[in-house]
Structure 1
Amino acid sequence: MVDESRIKQWLTNANYRNSDIAFREIVSITTSYPGLYPQLDTYIFNDGTPMELVNLHGTIPVRYKNNVYNIPICIWIMDTHPNNAPICYVKPTPDMSIKASMYVDQNGKIYLPYLHDWVPTSSDIIGLIQVMIVTFGEQPPVFARPKDDLPYQRSPYMPQQPPAGGSSFMPFPTPYPPAGGFSGYPPYPPTNTGFPQYPNYPSYPSYTASNFDNPAVPPMSGGTGTIKEEHIRESLLTAIEEKLMRRMKEQFQQSQAELDTLRRTQDELKQGKAKLDAILARLEKEENDLNKNITILQDKEQELEKAIERLSNQEAIDVDDAVITTAPLYKQLLNAFAEEAALEDAIYYMGEALRRGVIDLDVFLRQVRTLSRKQFMLRALMQKCRQKAGLTV
């Protein structure tokens, strides 16, 4: 059971931008894959820059040739997660060697299309682990070292070194999950600091010729040392039960991972459906508004056509008759306005003549002063006429 408060403290101390998302993913991963443990450690980038990051270290179950193996990995979660993909490594134990391929280099760094095409909105670490399980099941990233190269005695659960020049590299098989496992296997020791250490398995018991073909049967203690038929039967039943339980556990975990993926896909589809419904509702509203505007435009067009038809049927209008005033006061106002506009144009052209050097400055000033005085009088006259006529001033 992981310490959730400590994980939150790690994410806060390491200044994770989206600490809530990272926390939820870490808890989900440690629940789905009990062989992985979180820790806060220092990661050194290629340029030598150190950074405090949270990583998930431990093992993941990989099926290879009908056997399940624990592949040791380490996933460094970036402080910008999920905007940037994590950095992943294979971390072989002393009795393992890295098998370099297009997915793993000599240093153990993992290269996957899922990491290269990381999408912040849809990619997550659980999906990455599932891709690792499938990829490493086809191309195991580690194999067991030769017996002479091991720093300690080989575990009875380690496969033999492949023949020279052969391509059948086998990873290091151990039961999964490592904690709370099945009978007959030593449990995986949990730890909170550093990469989890693999247990030193006891060596094989010495078998007699009568039980060599059945390694699941332990030697008898005491008595004559012979194996009776009921012992063989009980041992076989125990071995078959353990094998069936392991297969059922593996099948359950695989089905659970597929179910989780389908649930996430369902959630994404529901979110997409909600977005599409909102878009369709907005489009329907815009369509209704557009239809209303089209109806208004058609009505205005009909009114315009009627006005054009009415005007075309009328007699021609005399411009002079159109500006004839109905009262002497209005006529005086119209004449004053026309004269004032003419003076405005005259002053403008006087300025143009001065600019081009057609007239002298003295002539310009004298004429402008005269025109301005007359213009002022006309404007005062127009204001009085408006007041008398009751028009807006």
Structure 2
Amino acid sequence: MAPPPPEAAVHSPSSPQYTQQFLSNVLSQRGPSSLPYSEDVKWLIRQHLVSLIDMCPSLQPRTATFTYNDGRTVNLLQANGTVPMVYLDATYNIPVIIWLLESYPRQSPLVFVNPTRHMVVKDSHPFVSSSGIVSIPYLTNWVYPSSNLVELVRNLSNFFSRDPPLYTKRNPNPNPHPPPGTSFSNSGSTRPAIPPRVYPPSPYGSGSGGEVGRKTDDRSEVDKKNAIDELMVKLHSDIEGLGKAREADMEGLFNAQGVLRRREEELRKGVKEMLDEKEGLEQQLQMVLMNTDVLEGWVRDNETKVKKIGNVDVDEAFELCDRLSKQMSDCTASDLAMEDVIYSLDKAIQDGAIPFDLYLRNVRLLSREQFIHRATASKVKAAQMQAQVSHMASRLSQYALS
């Protein structure tokens, strides 16, 4: 894969506000000129680049045409500039280009060191190939969405400080302490360069049209990187699948928990109703026991009288014990008698035995009188209930004292 030359960049921001505006414009474009990133990650890409510029202003975002090994070209975002590093207590600037490929940020960006014509890539560097491709552990272990450009640049600075990837080309017998004034960036820095060494001619020779040609990796290295990329894609796919499965399991567990909580509330409500019903039944049982005690006492008191009397007429065997009971009996008897008379009148009018006006007059009179008896019975019943409650209260006090 070959990146375009630095001259292809089309953006040179002069302020953070301009940079943010530039990113918003290029990422919001639609149609043929839109960048080939997923819509759901464009805002995240913008945040990554803005955070990168805030941390390392020497890197600036641009759009440029990226050329793959198969000749395919695509317009992509890049961060072009320098990464600072510390070597032998001195700070140097390493020119780099960070390409955000179509799969970013789900996959790692592509990083190139971008030496000037006076620089050369260190031979057999552990993290930079002869073509300038950077491969550090942070890139190979890129994990979406936690990995980002800020941490990438920090790792680049750290690894470059351990083993600088670029050296200046000087005479065959370089001075271990070169004179000041040389720099690893074309930004006018006056920092001293790293002691130069003898290397073969730089692979970054100038080409026609000002473009910088790059030597592609050999076939085995390309196959290895493709296999690693494929494994990373599968790994991310498996992780996403596991994450979705776990989310579905958690959702099911939360739903089951909600059902169990509703059932718990229903059970608590049912237990409370059963306890209330038990309390009511206990009160009724106490009432029945008290009434049984009263009846047994009455039977004991009247058992000897029945034996002395002998055969007794059932209709005359019972005598109402108080005025309210007698009044209730009279009202109930009158109510039922009038109900029977009204029923007989209904049969008579159906059979045509009496005229209709006589039927209406009698029914009106009987209904008025029946209403009076029913109202009287209702008042008598209320008085009886009050008397019974008072009597029960007195008996309860007796039981409590005993």
Q: Same fold (TM over 0.5)?
A: no
- TM-score, length basis structure 2: 0.40
- TM-score, length basis structure 1: 0.41
Structure ID, larger Rg: 2
Q: Which has the higher helix share?
A: 2
